[in-house]
Amino acid sequence: MSYLNIKLKKELKFRLDLSQLIPDKIGKKTKTKIKTLQISYGNETRNFSDFFSISGTLKNGIIFKGDLSKCDYIGNQMKNGEIIINGNTGNYLGNEMSGGRIIANGSTSDYAGCSLQGGEIIIKKNTGDYLGSSQQGNKVGMSGGILLVYGNAGIRVGFKMRSGVIYIKGNVKDFLGNQMIAGTIITKGKIGSNIGLLMKRGTIIIKDQKFLAPHFNYNGTNKYIFLKIMEFYLEKISKEFKNIFPSIYTKKYLGDINCKGMGEIFVVS
Protein backbone atom coordinates (compact mmCIF):
# COMPACT_ATOMS: atom_id res chain seq x y z
CA MET A 1 0.00 0.00 0.00
CA SER A 2 1.12 3.51 -0.74
CA TYR A 3 0.86 6.22 1.92
CA LEU A 4 2.06 9.78 2.19
CA ASN A 5 4.56 9.68 5.06
CA ILE A 6 4.74 12.84 7.17
CA LYS A 7 7.47 12.85 9.83
CA LEU A 8 8.02 15.46 12.54
CA LYS A 9 11.56 16.83 12.26
CA LYS A 10 11.96 18.55 15.64
CA GLU A 11 10.42 18.96 19.06
CA LEU A 12 7.61 21.50 19.16
CA LYS A 13 7.59 24.39 21.62
CA PHE A 14 4.12 25.68 20.71
CA ARG A 15 0.94 24.05 19.39
CA LEU A 16 0.43 23.31 15.69
CA ASP A 17 -2.90 23.36 13.83
CA LEU A 18 -2.92 20.50 11.30
CA SER A 19 -6.56 20.85 10.20
CA GLN A 20 -5.54 21.22 6.53
CA LEU A 21 -3.70 17.90 6.41
CA ILE A 22 -6.50 15.52 5.43
CA PRO A 23 -6.77 13.35 2.28
CA ASP A 24 -9.79 15.37 1.10
CA LYS A 25 -7.82 18.63 0.96
CA ILE A 26 -4.33 17.57 -0.14
CA GLY A 27 -5.22 14.69 -2.48
CA LYS A 28 -4.55 16.74 -5.62
CA LYS A 29 -1.68 18.83 -4.27
CA THR A 30 1.95 18.20 -5.23
CA LYS A 31 4.56 17.63 -2.52
CA THR A 32 5.92 21.10 -3.23
CA LYS A 33 2.54 22.68 -2.54
CA ILE A 34 2.10 20.61 0.61
CA LYS A 35 5.50 21.74 1.89
CA THR A 36 4.52 25.39 1.44
CA LEU A 37 1.14 25.09 3.15
CA GLN A 38 0.70 27.78 5.77
CA ILE A 39 -0.06 26.43 9.23
CA SER A 40 -0.55 28.08 12.61
CA TYR A 41 2.28 27.66 15.10
CA GLY A 42 1.52 29.46 18.35
CA ASN A 43 0.75 33.03 17.22
CA GLU A 44 2.79 32.66 14.01
CA THR A 45 2.11 31.35 10.50
CA ARG A 46 4.80 29.03 9.17
CA ASN A 47 5.46 26.70 6.24
CA PHE A 48 4.55 23.06 6.77
CA SER A 49 8.07 22.01 5.72
CA ASP A 50 9.54 23.93 8.68
CA PHE A 51 8.35 21.09 10.89
CA PHE A 52 7.76 18.00 8.74
CA SER A 53 9.49 15.93 6.08
CA ILE A 54 7.37 14.27 3.36
CA SER A 55 7.84 11.07 1.39
CA GLY A 56 5.71 8.49 -0.43
CA THR A 57 2.46 9.05 -2.31
CA LEU A 58 -1.07 9.74 -1.15
CA LYS A 59 -2.90 6.72 -2.54
CA ASN A 60 -4.24 4.92 0.52
CA GLY A 61 -3.90 7.69 3.05
CA ILE A 62 -1.51 9.56 5.36
CA ILE A 63 0.89 8.24 7.98
CA PHE A 64 2.10 10.69 10.63
CA LYS A 65 5.26 9.84 12.59
CA GLY A 66 6.65 11.42 15.75
CA ASP A 67 5.40 12.91 18.99
CA LEU A 68 2.39 14.92 17.82
CA SER A 69 1.06 15.67 21.31
CA LYS A 70 1.17 19.40 20.47
CA CYS A 71 -0.48 18.93 17.07
CA ASP A 72 -4.21 19.66 17.10
CA TYR A 73 -7.10 19.05 14.67
CA ILE A 74 -5.60 16.06 12.86
CA GLY A 75 -8.38 14.67 10.63
CA ASN A 76 -10.48 17.82 11.03
CA GLN A 77 -13.70 17.56 8.95
CA MET A 78 -12.33 14.49 7.18
CA LYS A 79 -14.78 12.87 4.73
CA ASN A 80 -12.85 9.90 3.34
CA GLY A 81 -9.49 8.16 3.27
CA GLU A 82 -7.30 6.93 6.11
CA ILE A 83 -4.95 8.56 8.60
CA ILE A 84 -2.52 6.53 10.71
CA ILE A 85 -0.65 8.22 13.57
CA ASN A 86 2.44 6.47 14.94
CA GLY A 87 2.82 8.53 18.10
CA ASN A 88 0.82 10.58 20.55
CA THR A 89 -1.69 13.14 19.32
CA GLY A 90 -2.98 16.54 20.47
CA ASN A 91 -6.49 17.91 20.91
CA TYR A 92 -9.52 17.60 18.62
CA LEU A 93 -8.49 14.45 16.74
CA GLY A 94 -11.14 13.79 14.07
CA ASN A 95 -13.07 16.95 14.90
CA GLU A 96 -16.34 17.06 12.88
CA MET A 97 -15.19 14.04 10.89
CA SER A 98 -17.93 12.55 8.68
CA GLY A 99 -16.17 9.63 6.97
CA GLY A 100 -12.96 7.67 6.60
CA ARG A 101 -10.81 6.10 9.28
CA ILE A 102 -8.24 7.32 11.80
CA ILE A 103 -5.94 4.93 13.69
CA ALA A 104 -3.96 6.51 16.53
CA ASN A 105 -1.27 4.08 17.70
CA GLY A 106 -0.48 6.23 20.73
CA SER A 107 -2.50 8.26 23.23
CA THR A 108 -4.62 11.29 22.36
CA SER A 109 -5.43 14.48 24.25
CA ASP A 110 -8.82 16.11 24.87
CA TYR A 111 -11.86 16.31 22.57
CA ALA A 112 -11.03 13.29 20.37
CA GLY A 113 -13.99 12.59 18.05
CA CYS A 114 -15.53 15.93 18.97
CA SER A 115 -18.82 16.43 17.06
CA LEU A 116 -18.07 13.22 15.14
CA GLN A 117 -20.64 12.61 12.38
CA GLY A 118 -19.36 9.41 10.74
CA GLY A 119 -16.36 7.20 10.08
CA GLU A 120 -14.17 5.37 12.59
CA ILE A 121 -11.56 6.53 15.10
CA ILE A 122 -9.44 3.85 16.79
CA ILE A 123 -7.20 4.92 19.70
CA LYS A 124 -4.75 2.19 20.75
CA LYS A 125 -3.78 3.73 24.12
CA ASN A 126 -5.44 6.36 26.34
CA THR A 127 -7.49 9.44 25.55
CA GLY A 128 -8.26 12.64 27.45
CA ASP A 129 -11.44 14.43 28.47
CA TYR A 130 -14.59 15.06 26.38
CA LEU A 131 -14.27 12.05 24.07
CA GLY A 132 -17.09 12.16 21.48
CA SER A 133 -18.49 15.34 22.99
CA SER A 134 -19.73 18.64 21.62
CA GLN A 135 -17.45 21.56 20.96
CA GLN A 136 -17.34 24.20 23.68
CA GLY A 137 -20.60 26.15 23.63
CA ASN A 138 -22.20 23.85 21.05
CA LYS A 139 -25.48 22.03 21.74
CA VAL A 140 -24.73 18.98 19.57
CA GLY A 141 -22.11 16.36 20.42
CA MET A 142 -21.20 13.21 18.52
CA SER A 143 -23.98 12.42 16.02
CA GLY A 144 -22.64 9.31 14.24
CA GLY A 145 -19.63 7.11 13.64
CA ILE A 146 -17.63 4.84 15.94
CA LEU A 147 -15.01 5.61 18.60
CA LEU A 148 -12.93 2.70 19.87
CA VAL A 149 -10.47 3.25 22.75
CA TYR A 150 -8.21 0.43 23.92
CA GLY A 151 -7.06 2.27 27.05
CA ASN A 152 -8.62 4.71 29.53
CA ALA A 153 -10.69 7.87 29.01
CA GLY A 154 -11.17 11.08 30.98
CA ILE A 155 -14.24 13.00 32.12
CA ARG A 156 -17.49 13.69 30.23
CA VAL A 157 -17.25 10.94 27.62
CA GLY A 158 -20.18 11.35 25.18
CA PHE A 159 -21.13 14.81 26.48
CA LYS A 160 -24.31 15.83 24.58
CA MET A 161 -23.98 12.74 22.37
CA ARG A 162 -26.80 12.23 19.81
CA SER A 163 -25.88 9.07 17.91
CA GLY A 164 -23.08 6.60 17.16
CA VAL A 165 -21.11 4.15 19.28
CA ILE A 166 -18.33 4.70 21.81
CA TYR A 167 -16.45 1.66 23.16
CA ILE A 168 -13.83 2.02 25.89
CA LYS A 169 -11.88 -1.04 26.96
CA GLY A 170 -10.31 0.62 30.01
CA ASN A 171 -11.53 2.89 32.80
CA VAL A 172 -13.60 6.06 32.48
CA LYS A 173 -13.64 9.06 34.80
CA ASP A 174 -16.62 11.12 36.03
CA PHE A 175 -19.74 12.27 34.16
CA LEU A 176 -19.92 9.45 31.63
CA GLY A 177 -22.83 10.18 29.24
CA ASN A 178 -23.48 13.63 30.72
CA GLN A 179 -26.48 15.27 28.95
CA MET A 180 -26.59 12.38 26.49
CA ILE A 181 -29.52 12.51 24.03
CA ALA A 182 -29.03 9.28 22.04
CA GLY A 183 -26.37 6.78 20.95
CA THR A 184 -24.54 3.96 22.72
CA ILE A 185 -21.57 4.00 25.11
CA ILE A 186 -19.95 0.71 26.18
CA THR A 187 -17.24 0.49 28.85
CA LYS A 188 -15.37 -2.55 30.14
CA GLY A 189 -13.43 -0.95 33.01
CA LYS A 190 -14.30 1.02 36.11
CA ILE A 191 -16.38 4.19 35.93
CA GLY A 192 -16.31 7.42 37.92
CA SER A 193 -19.16 9.29 39.58
CA ASN A 194 -22.31 10.90 38.17
CA ILE A 195 -22.91 8.45 35.33
CA GLY A 196 -25.70 9.58 32.96
CA LEU A 197 -26.25 12.91 34.70
CA LEU A 198 -29.05 14.84 32.91
CA MET A 199 -29.30 12.04 30.35
CA LYS A 200 -32.45 12.24 28.19
CA ARG A 201 -32.16 9.09 26.05
CA GLY A 202 -29.53 6.69 24.76
CA THR A 203 -27.83 3.60 26.15
CA ILE A 204 -24.86 3.18 28.49
CA ILE A 205 -23.53 -0.35 29.04
CA ILE A 206 -21.12 -0.93 31.92
CA LYS A 207 -19.40 -3.88 33.54
CA ASP A 208 -21.01 -5.25 36.71
CA GLN A 209 -19.68 -3.14 39.57
CA LYS A 210 -20.83 -1.05 42.49
CA PHE A 211 -21.94 2.40 41.34
CA LEU A 212 -24.10 5.17 42.75
CA ALA A 213 -26.82 6.55 40.47
CA PRO A 214 -29.63 7.90 42.69
CA HIS A 215 -30.91 9.85 39.68
CA PHE A 216 -31.79 6.51 37.98
CA ASN A 217 -34.55 4.04 38.85
CA TYR A 218 -33.90 0.31 38.91
CA ASN A 219 -36.00 -1.32 36.16
CA GLY A 220 -35.41 -5.00 36.85
CA THR A 221 -33.15 -7.76 35.57
CA ASN A 222 -33.87 -9.53 32.30
CA LYS A 223 -32.41 -11.05 29.15
CA TYR A 224 -31.75 -8.47 26.42
CA ILE A 225 -31.25 -10.12 23.01
CA PHE A 226 -30.30 -6.79 21.40
CA LEU A 227 -26.90 -6.99 23.16
CA LYS A 228 -25.90 -10.03 21.06
CA ILE A 229 -27.21 -8.35 17.91
CA MET A 230 -25.09 -5.29 18.71
CA GLU A 231 -22.08 -7.49 19.44
CA PHE A 232 -22.48 -9.23 16.04
CA TYR A 233 -22.36 -5.96 14.09
CA LEU A 234 -19.58 -4.41 16.18
CA GLU A 235 -17.37 -7.48 15.77
CA LYS A 236 -17.33 -6.81 12.02
CA ILE A 237 -15.55 -3.54 12.79
CA SER A 238 -13.02 -4.89 15.27
CA LYS A 239 -12.21 -8.21 16.94
CA GLU A 240 -12.08 -6.22 20.18
CA PHE A 241 -15.86 -6.60 20.28
CA LYS A 242 -15.76 -10.40 20.23
CA ASN A 243 -17.87 -11.80 23.09
CA ILE A 244 -18.03 -8.44 24.89
CA PHE A 245 -21.41 -9.52 26.27
CA PRO A 246 -20.83 -13.08 27.55
CA SER A 247 -24.17 -12.83 29.34
CA ILE A 248 -27.30 -11.00 28.19
CA TYR A 249 -28.95 -11.35 31.61
CA THR A 250 -28.48 -7.78 32.85
CA LYS A 251 -29.71 -5.16 35.27
CA LYS A 252 -31.43 -2.14 33.77
CA TYR A 253 -31.78 1.40 35.12
CA LEU A 254 -33.80 4.31 33.68
CA GLY A 255 -33.17 8.05 34.07
CA ASP A 256 -32.08 10.73 34.64
CA ILE A 257 -35.30 11.09 36.66
CA ASN A 258 -34.40 14.70 37.51
CA CYS A 259 -35.03 15.71 33.88
CA LYS A 260 -37.66 13.03 33.16
CA GLY A 261 -35.14 11.21 31.02
CA MET A 262 -35.59 7.74 29.57
CA GLY A 263 -31.93 6.91 29.17
CA GLU A 264 -30.83 3.33 29.83
CA ILE A 265 -27.97 2.01 31.90
CA PHE A 266 -27.33 -1.72 31.50
CA VAL A 267 -25.06 -3.47 34.00
CA VAL A 268 -23.69 -6.66 32.46
CA SER A 269 -21.74 -9.45 34.15
Q: Per-residue pLDDT for 176 more than 70?
A: yes
Stretch among 25-29, 97-101, 116-120, 214-218 having the lowest mean pLDDT: 25-29
> Is 103 within 8 Å of 137 (Cβ atoms)?
no
pLDDT at 166: 97
Q: What is the pLDDT at residue 239?
A: 83
Q: Where are the domains of the chain?
A: 110-268
Amino acid 250: pLDDT = 95
Tell me the CB-side half-sphere exposure of residue 250, using CA atoms within 13 A.
23
Query: Rounded to whole angstroms, how far apart are CA atoms 62 and 22?
Result: 8
Classify burial at 209, counting beta carbons within 10 Å of its beta carbon; exposed 0-12, middle 13-18, buried 19 or more.
exposed
Residue 1 confidence (pLDDT) above 70? no
